[in-house]
Amino acid sequence: MTEPDASVDVRAAKDGRLVIVSTPIGNLGDLSPRAVSVLSSADLLCCEDTRRTRALLTHAGISGRRLLSVHARNEEARLPEVLGHLAAGKTVAVVSDAGTPGVSDPGARLVAAAAAAGAEVTVVPGPSAVVAALVVSGLPTARFCFEGFLARRGSDRRRRLEAMATEERTSVIYEAPGRLAATLGDLADFCGAQRAVVVARELTKLHEEVWRGTLAEAVAEFAPREVRGEVVVVLAGASPAPPAEAADVVAALRRHVDGGASWRDAASAVAAELGVARRGVYEQALAMRREDEDPLS
Protein backbone atom coordinates (compact mmCIF):
# COMPACT_ATOMS: atom_id res chain seq x y z
CA MET A 1 0.00 0.00 0.00
CA THR A 2 1.39 3.42 -0.91
CA GLU A 3 1.33 6.32 1.51
CA PRO A 4 -1.87 8.41 1.46
CA ASP A 5 -1.74 11.76 -0.34
CA ALA A 6 -0.46 14.12 2.36
CA SER A 7 -1.39 17.21 0.31
CA VAL A 8 -5.04 16.93 1.35
CA ASP A 9 -5.79 17.99 4.93
CA VAL A 10 -9.40 17.78 6.06
CA ARG A 11 -8.92 18.78 9.70
CA ALA A 12 -10.67 22.10 9.11
CA ALA A 13 -13.82 20.37 7.85
CA LYS A 14 -15.58 19.54 11.10
CA ASP A 15 -18.54 17.80 9.45
CA GLY A 16 -16.65 15.69 6.88
CA ARG A 17 -16.62 12.03 7.81
CA LEU A 18 -16.01 8.60 6.32
CA VAL A 19 -18.46 5.89 7.40
CA ILE A 20 -17.69 2.19 6.90
CA VAL A 21 -21.04 0.45 6.45
CA SER A 22 -21.50 -3.30 6.77
CA THR A 23 -24.02 -4.82 4.38
CA PRO A 24 -25.64 -8.29 4.22
CA ILE A 25 -23.54 -11.29 3.19
CA GLY A 26 -26.59 -12.92 1.67
CA ASN A 27 -29.84 -12.28 3.51
CA LEU A 28 -31.06 -8.76 2.77
CA GLY A 29 -32.99 -8.82 6.02
CA ASP A 30 -29.68 -8.36 7.82
CA LEU A 31 -29.34 -4.75 6.66
CA SER A 32 -29.59 -2.75 9.87
CA PRO A 33 -31.80 0.33 10.37
CA ARG A 34 -28.69 2.40 11.14
CA ALA A 35 -27.06 1.25 7.89
CA VAL A 36 -30.20 2.31 5.99
CA SER A 37 -30.11 5.71 7.71
CA VAL A 38 -26.47 6.33 6.77
CA LEU A 39 -26.91 5.13 3.19
CA SER A 40 -29.99 7.34 2.84
CA SER A 41 -28.22 10.50 3.98
CA ALA A 42 -24.62 10.13 2.75
CA ASP A 43 -23.47 12.60 0.11
CA LEU A 44 -21.41 9.93 -1.67
CA LEU A 45 -21.48 6.11 -1.60
CA CYS A 46 -18.22 4.33 -2.45
CA CYS A 47 -18.96 0.78 -3.57
CA GLU A 48 -17.32 -2.14 -5.36
CA ASP A 49 -19.99 -2.80 -7.97
CA THR A 50 -22.51 -0.03 -8.55
CA ARG A 51 -25.05 -2.52 -9.91
CA ARG A 52 -25.06 -4.61 -6.74
CA THR A 53 -25.20 -1.55 -4.51
CA ARG A 54 -28.10 -0.05 -6.49
CA ALA A 55 -30.00 -3.32 -6.02
CA LEU A 56 -29.37 -3.11 -2.27
CA LEU A 57 -30.49 0.52 -2.18
CA THR A 58 -33.64 -0.33 -4.13
CA HIS A 59 -34.45 -3.07 -1.61
CA ALA A 60 -34.06 -0.53 1.19
CA GLY A 61 -36.20 2.06 -0.62
CA ILE A 62 -33.28 4.45 -1.13
CA SER A 63 -32.92 6.47 -4.31
CA GLY A 64 -31.06 9.49 -5.58
CA ARG A 65 -27.70 8.63 -4.05
CA ARG A 66 -24.46 9.37 -5.90
CA LEU A 67 -22.34 6.22 -6.31
CA LEU A 68 -18.61 6.03 -6.95
CA SER A 69 -17.05 2.72 -7.98
CA VAL A 70 -14.13 1.87 -5.68
CA HIS A 71 -12.67 -1.60 -6.14
CA ALA A 72 -9.36 -3.40 -5.70
CA ARG A 73 -7.91 -2.08 -8.96
CA ASN A 74 -8.76 1.61 -8.57
CA GLU A 75 -8.97 2.27 -4.82
CA GLU A 76 -5.60 4.05 -4.71
CA ALA A 77 -6.54 6.30 -7.65
CA ARG A 78 -9.84 7.27 -6.01
CA LEU A 79 -8.24 8.58 -2.82
CA PRO A 80 -7.83 12.25 -3.89
CA GLU A 81 -11.46 12.47 -4.99
CA VAL A 82 -12.78 10.94 -1.78
CA LEU A 83 -10.53 13.10 0.38
CA GLY A 84 -11.75 16.13 -1.53
CA HIS A 85 -15.35 15.35 -0.57
CA LEU A 86 -14.31 14.94 3.06
CA ALA A 87 -12.42 18.25 2.96
CA ALA A 88 -15.64 19.87 1.71
CA GLY A 89 -17.47 18.64 4.81
CA LYS A 90 -19.31 15.80 3.09
CA THR A 91 -20.30 12.42 4.48
CA VAL A 92 -18.87 9.54 2.47
CA ALA A 93 -20.20 6.02 3.08
CA VAL A 94 -18.16 2.98 2.06
CA VAL A 95 -19.71 -0.39 1.28
CA SER A 96 -18.42 -3.58 -0.32
CA ASP A 97 -20.45 -6.08 -2.31
CA ALA A 98 -21.13 -8.01 0.90
CA GLY A 99 -20.05 -7.88 4.52
CA THR A 100 -17.71 -5.39 6.17
CA PRO A 101 -15.48 -3.29 3.89
CA GLY A 102 -11.74 -3.66 4.40
CA VAL A 103 -11.85 -7.35 5.34
CA SER A 104 -10.59 -9.07 2.15
CA ASP A 105 -12.53 -6.31 0.35
CA PRO A 106 -11.70 -2.72 -0.69
CA GLY A 107 -11.89 -0.03 1.98
CA ALA A 108 -8.68 -0.31 4.00
CA ARG A 109 -6.83 2.23 1.83
CA LEU A 110 -9.69 4.73 2.10
CA VAL A 111 -9.75 4.40 5.88
CA ALA A 112 -5.98 4.82 6.17
CA ALA A 113 -5.96 7.87 3.89
CA ALA A 114 -8.91 9.53 5.61
CA ALA A 115 -7.46 8.96 9.07
CA ALA A 116 -4.04 10.26 7.97
CA ALA A 117 -5.71 13.38 6.56
CA GLY A 118 -7.46 14.05 9.86
CA ALA A 119 -11.00 13.09 8.86
CA GLU A 120 -13.50 11.55 11.23
CA VAL A 121 -13.79 7.83 10.51
CA THR A 122 -16.62 5.79 11.99
CA VAL A 123 -18.29 2.44 11.38
CA VAL A 124 -21.74 0.89 11.17
CA PRO A 125 -20.92 -2.67 12.26
CA GLY A 126 -22.84 -5.65 11.03
CA PRO A 127 -22.53 -8.77 8.87
CA SER A 128 -19.11 -10.36 8.47
CA ALA A 129 -18.50 -13.79 6.95
CA VAL A 130 -15.44 -14.22 9.19
CA VAL A 131 -17.36 -13.83 12.44
CA ALA A 132 -20.49 -15.61 11.17
CA ALA A 133 -18.53 -18.72 10.18
CA LEU A 134 -16.47 -18.68 13.36
CA VAL A 135 -19.39 -18.53 15.77
CA VAL A 136 -21.47 -21.13 13.91
CA SER A 137 -18.54 -23.55 13.63
CA GLY A 138 -18.62 -24.79 17.20
CA LEU A 139 -14.81 -24.52 17.35
CA PRO A 140 -13.05 -22.42 20.03
CA THR A 141 -13.66 -18.69 19.57
CA ALA A 142 -11.70 -17.12 22.44
CA ARG A 143 -8.60 -16.75 20.25
CA PHE A 144 -8.63 -16.98 16.46
CA CYS A 145 -6.76 -15.73 13.41
CA PHE A 146 -8.02 -14.72 9.98
CA GLU A 147 -6.01 -15.98 7.00
CA GLY A 148 -8.14 -14.48 4.22
CA PHE A 149 -7.55 -16.09 0.83
CA LEU A 150 -4.47 -18.30 0.62
CA ALA A 151 -2.05 -17.78 -2.25
CA ARG A 152 -2.95 -20.14 -5.08
CA ARG A 153 0.52 -21.66 -5.33
CA GLY A 154 4.21 -21.18 -4.59
CA SER A 155 6.30 -20.48 -1.51
CA ASP A 156 3.84 -18.04 0.07
CA ARG A 157 1.11 -20.69 0.10
CA ARG A 158 3.51 -23.24 1.59
CA ARG A 159 4.65 -20.82 4.33
CA ARG A 160 1.09 -20.09 5.39
CA LEU A 161 0.14 -23.76 5.41
CA GLU A 162 3.20 -24.54 7.52
CA ALA A 163 2.24 -21.77 9.95
CA MET A 164 -1.31 -23.13 10.30
CA ALA A 165 0.09 -26.60 10.99
CA THR A 166 1.38 -25.37 14.37
CA GLU A 167 -1.08 -22.51 14.99
CA GLU A 168 -2.94 -23.22 18.23
CA ARG A 169 -5.69 -20.66 17.56
CA THR A 170 -8.71 -21.38 15.38
CA SER A 171 -8.00 -20.26 11.80
CA VAL A 172 -10.60 -18.77 9.44
CA ILE A 173 -9.91 -19.01 5.70
CA TYR A 174 -11.76 -17.70 2.66
CA GLU A 175 -11.72 -19.89 -0.44
CA ALA A 176 -13.22 -19.89 -3.91
CA PRO A 177 -15.60 -22.83 -4.45
CA GLY A 178 -13.55 -24.23 -7.34
CA ARG A 179 -10.41 -24.41 -5.19
CA LEU A 180 -12.01 -25.75 -2.00
CA ALA A 181 -11.10 -29.42 -2.54
CA ALA A 182 -7.45 -28.61 -3.32
CA THR A 183 -7.14 -26.41 -0.23
CA LEU A 184 -8.71 -29.05 2.02
CA GLY A 185 -6.24 -31.58 0.62
CA ASP A 186 -3.29 -29.29 1.31
CA LEU A 187 -4.55 -28.60 4.84
CA ALA A 188 -4.82 -32.35 5.46
CA ASP A 189 -1.24 -32.85 4.22
CA PHE A 190 0.21 -30.08 6.39
CA CYS A 191 -2.04 -30.19 9.46
CA GLY A 192 -2.92 -33.86 9.66
CA ALA A 193 -5.93 -35.72 8.34
CA GLN A 194 -7.65 -35.85 11.74
CA ARG A 195 -7.66 -32.08 12.41
CA ALA A 196 -11.22 -30.83 12.91
CA VAL A 197 -12.60 -28.48 10.26
CA VAL A 198 -15.86 -26.73 9.42
CA VAL A 199 -16.85 -25.72 5.91
CA ALA A 200 -19.46 -22.95 5.94
CA ARG A 201 -21.09 -22.28 2.59
CA GLU A 202 -23.67 -19.69 1.53
CA LEU A 203 -24.10 -18.36 5.07
CA THR A 204 -27.44 -16.59 5.71
CA LYS A 205 -28.70 -17.63 2.23
CA LEU A 206 -31.37 -20.08 1.18
CA HIS A 207 -28.95 -22.96 0.63
CA GLU A 208 -26.79 -22.36 3.71
CA GLU A 209 -24.61 -25.34 4.62
CA VAL A 210 -22.42 -25.84 7.69
CA TRP A 211 -20.44 -29.08 7.35
CA ARG A 212 -18.36 -30.41 10.26
CA GLY A 213 -15.80 -33.21 10.40
CA THR A 214 -12.10 -33.98 10.02
CA LEU A 215 -9.91 -32.83 7.16
CA ALA A 216 -9.82 -36.39 5.80
CA GLU A 217 -13.62 -36.53 5.83
CA ALA A 218 -13.82 -33.06 4.27
CA VAL A 219 -11.62 -34.10 1.36
CA ALA A 220 -13.80 -37.16 0.77
CA GLU A 221 -16.95 -35.05 0.99
CA PHE A 222 -16.03 -32.09 -1.21
CA ALA A 223 -13.59 -33.53 -3.78
CA PRO A 224 -16.38 -35.20 -5.81
CA ARG A 225 -18.82 -32.31 -5.43
CA GLU A 226 -19.41 -29.28 -7.60
CA VAL A 227 -19.25 -26.60 -4.92
CA ARG A 228 -21.02 -23.29 -5.47
CA GLY A 229 -21.36 -20.06 -3.56
CA GLU A 230 -19.30 -18.27 -0.94
CA VAL A 231 -17.12 -20.57 1.17
CA VAL A 232 -15.45 -20.06 4.53
CA VAL A 233 -13.22 -22.74 6.08
CA VAL A 234 -12.79 -22.78 9.87
CA LEU A 235 -9.86 -24.90 11.00
CA ALA A 236 -9.34 -26.11 14.56
CA GLY A 237 -6.09 -25.05 16.19
CA ALA A 238 -3.17 -27.42 16.66
CA SER A 239 -2.86 -29.23 19.97
CA PRO A 240 -0.17 -27.71 22.22
CA ALA A 241 3.16 -29.45 21.91
CA PRO A 242 3.85 -31.84 24.82
CA PRO A 243 6.34 -30.53 27.38
CA ALA A 244 9.95 -31.34 26.59
CA GLU A 245 11.55 -34.12 28.61
CA ALA A 246 15.09 -34.06 30.00
CA ALA A 247 16.32 -36.29 27.19
CA ASP A 248 14.98 -33.82 24.64
CA VAL A 249 16.92 -30.97 26.28
CA VAL A 250 20.14 -33.00 26.37
CA ALA A 251 19.80 -34.04 22.72
CA ALA A 252 19.04 -30.49 21.57
CA LEU A 253 21.96 -29.03 23.53
CA ARG A 254 24.33 -31.60 22.06
CA ARG A 255 23.09 -30.87 18.55
CA HIS A 256 23.69 -27.13 18.91
CA VAL A 257 27.13 -27.52 20.49
CA ASP A 258 28.21 -30.07 17.90
CA GLY A 259 27.10 -27.55 15.31
CA GLY A 260 29.57 -24.98 16.66
CA ALA A 261 27.51 -23.02 19.19
CA SER A 262 28.87 -22.10 22.61
CA TRP A 263 27.21 -23.73 25.61
CA ARG A 264 25.64 -20.39 26.56
CA ASP A 265 24.25 -19.78 23.06
CA ALA A 266 23.11 -23.38 22.84
CA ALA A 267 21.22 -23.08 26.12
CA SER A 268 19.45 -19.90 24.96
CA ALA A 269 18.50 -21.48 21.64
CA VAL A 270 17.20 -24.70 23.21
CA ALA A 271 15.14 -22.85 25.82
CA ALA A 272 13.38 -20.92 23.06
CA GLU A 273 13.13 -23.93 20.75
CA LEU A 274 11.54 -26.27 23.29
CA GLY A 275 9.64 -23.64 25.28
CA VAL A 276 11.26 -24.60 28.61
CA ALA A 277 12.65 -22.51 31.46
CA ARG A 278 16.05 -21.04 30.65
CA ARG A 279 17.47 -21.62 34.10
CA GLY A 280 16.98 -25.36 33.92
CA VAL A 281 18.53 -25.52 30.45
CA TYR A 282 21.54 -23.46 31.59
CA GLU A 283 22.06 -25.81 34.52
CA GLN A 284 21.91 -28.82 32.21
CA ALA A 285 24.36 -27.14 29.83
CA LEU A 286 26.82 -26.47 32.68
CA ALA A 287 26.62 -30.08 33.78
CA MET A 288 27.23 -31.34 30.25
CA ARG A 289 30.15 -28.95 29.78
CA ARG A 290 31.76 -30.18 33.00
CA GLU A 291 31.37 -33.77 31.83
CA ASP A 292 32.99 -32.92 28.50
CA GLU A 293 35.90 -31.19 30.24
CA ASP A 294 36.44 -33.96 32.82
CA PRO A 295 34.83 -37.15 31.51
CA LEU A 296 36.15 -39.15 34.54
CA SER A 297 34.43 -36.97 37.15
Range(s) of the domain holding residue 263: 246-293
Both 122 and 161 in one domain: the answer is: no
Q: What is the structure's pLDDT at 11?
A: 53
**Confidence at 190, pLDDT banded by 50, 70, 90:** very high
Q: Is residue 250 part of a domain?
A: yes
Q: Is residue 8 part of a domain?
A: no
To the question of pTM greater than 0.85 for the whole model, the response is no
User: What does the pLDDT look like over 219-252, one tens digit per residue?
Assistant: 999 999 999 999 999 999 998 877 788 899 999 9
Q: What is the structure's pLDDT at 14?
A: 56
Q: What is the mean pLDDT of the chain?
A: 91
- Give the burial class of 156: count Cβ atoms within 10 A of its Cβ; 0-12 exposed, 13-18 middle, 19 or more buried: exposed
Q: Give the domain CATH number at 83.
A: 3.40.1010.10
**Tally of domains within the chain:** 3
Q: Is residue 9 part of a domain?
A: no
Q: What is the structure's pLDDT at 4?
A: 45
Residue 25 contacts residue 204 (beta carbons within 8 Å): yes
Tally Cβ neighbours within 10 Å of residue 23.
25
CA distance 116 to 79: 12
Over range 87-111, report the average pLDDT: 95
